Homo-oligomer: A and B are copies of this chain.
Amino acid sequence: LERYKPSTGRRPTIHDVAREAGVSVSTVSNWLSGRKHLLRPRTREAVAEAAERLGYRPSGLARGLRGQSTRVVGLIVPSITNPSIPVIVRGAEDRAREAGYSLFLSNIDRQWDLAVDHSLAMIDKGVDGIAFAFALTGVSGAVLEATSRAGVDVAFLVPRGDVLEGERSVTLDNEGAMRQLVEHLWRLGHRCIGFASNAAATANSGHRLDGLRVALEERSTEVYAVYEDPVAFDHRDDWGEIESGRRSALVLLARPRRPTALCAVNDMMAVGLIRGAHELGLQVPEDVSIVGFDDLSIARVVQPALTTLAVPGYQIGHRLMEVLVGTAENEPNRFTPTLVVRESTGPAPTTRSLDP
């Protein structure tokens, strides 16, 4: 007379469903695994109904332990509070979810060696793969060893020319970005160009500077001045990076021969550069042109609106995950930021010669 009731507080298991439906566990398992053609319609219905009635949900833990896949992937980001990152996370999560994966998130706050620990922790939890929203350097050996031993896939965001560039990676083409930028600045007459980064320098910082160097060398020029502000700042607050940019401007614009253009490693630094320039009584872009990188919304809000290199963050995150969970074959995995010209760049103040 009394309806079957799962023992109080316990989640119904595949056994409960089998009993309720009057079939065996393997039948239920087959049903669960989509091998529905193995069940006769009546059975199928009975199982579906029983599962529904019991509110049955398969245990991911047990499936993961038994089978090979947990349908979980990890995503390790350099710094979640870096404003260029969340949209990458968003792209990655969207693609992961599309493919039926859940996302483990891990923030290493620019402490690169934490990537190893966090990877191991994820492996212990049984992830099927790990995406790194940055290029591993130094610790890549340890990570790669751990992941390959555990048989988990990886995907990296690497700069152009990286040894890892290829299938398991998405390339951010800093070089191509800087080339566009130099073309723009050169046309405006700029010949004396500085570069500003800071203590939180990632691999990107170096590669953007390199890109600038290469593009200028093609025009037989070199980067006039480079400043890496050494002051550490709290990444929980963007303001620190703006301040860092301000300080950099004070240093770079105090050089005997003043640069006519300053490139920042990112938009936050560039906003700071503008503030620093203003502090020195210089007009942007009349006295000095300033360029950012990322194209955050702040780039349009600051005055003057910032000329910058727009990074397709969402697509990068999406593709990064595609590499991991999809069948990214013959996909163009290289993303080149595009130059967005606004008001912070203009003709070089003393135009010596437009055709050297």
Name A residues whose Cβ lies closer than 8 Å to a Cβ of B: 9, 11, 55, 57-62, 64-65, 70, 72, 75, 80-81, 83, 85-87, 89-90, 93, 102-107, 120-126, 149-151, 236-239, 242, 268, 271, 296-298, 300-303, 314
Contact B149 A11, beta carbon cutoff 8 Å: yes
Q: Other than A61-B64, A102-B125, A268-B297, give 19 A-B pairs with Cβ distance below 8 A.
A: A57-B123, A57-B124, A58-B124, A59-B65, A59-B124, A62-B65, A81-B86, A81-B90, A83-B86, A87-B236, A89-B107, A93-B105, A102-B104, A103-B106, A242-B300, A242-B301, A301-B301, A301-B302, A302-B302
Most chain B Cβ neighbours within 10 Å, of A70, A86, A126: A86
Given known contacts A297-B237, A301-B271, is B65 in contact with A124 (CB within 8 Å)?
no
Instruction: Determine which of B93, B126, B238, B301 lies in contact with A60 in the assembled complex, contact meaning CB atoms within 8 Å.
Output: B126
Please report the C-alpha to C-alpha distance between residue A152 and residue B112 in the assembled complex, in whole angstroms: 33
Q: Nearest Cβ distance between residue A134 and chain B, in whole angstroms? A: 16
Question: What would 24 A/B residue contacts be, using CB atoms closer than 8 Å?
Answer: A11-B150, A55-B149, A57-B120, A57-B123, A59-B65, A61-B65, A65-B65, A72-B125, A81-B86, A81-B90, A86-B86, A89-B105, A89-B107, A93-B106, A102-B104, A103-B105, A104-B104, A105-B105, A238-B296, A239-B297, A242-B300, A242-B301, A271-B301, A301-B302
Contact B90 A236, beta carbon cutoff 8 Å: yes
Closest to A82 in B: B86
Please report the C-alpha to C-alpha distance between residue A89 and residue B121 in the assembled complex, in whole angstroms: 19
Most chain B Cβ neighbours within 10 Å, of A80, A120, A239: A80
Q: Which residues of B contact A103 (CB under 8 A)?
A: 104-106
Instruction: Determine which of B81, B93, B126, B242 lies in contact with A107 in the assembled complex, contact meaning CB atoms within 8 Å.
Output: B93
Q: Nearest Cβ distance between residue A164 and chain B, in whole angstroms? A: 22
Please report the C-alpha to C-alpha distance between residue A188 and residue B97 in the assembled complex, in whole angstroms: 50
Contact A61 B70, beta carbon cutoff 8 Å: yes
Q: Which residues of B contact A122 (CB under 8 A)?
A: 102
Contact B300 A239, beta carbon cutoff 8 Å: yes
Most chain B Cβ neighbours within 10 Å, of A58, A104, A107, A297: A297
Contact B124 A60, beta carbon cutoff 8 Å: yes
Q: Nearest Cβ distance between residue A242 and chain B, in whole angstroms? A: 7
Q: Nearest Cβ distance between residue A167 and chain B, in whole angstroms? A: 21
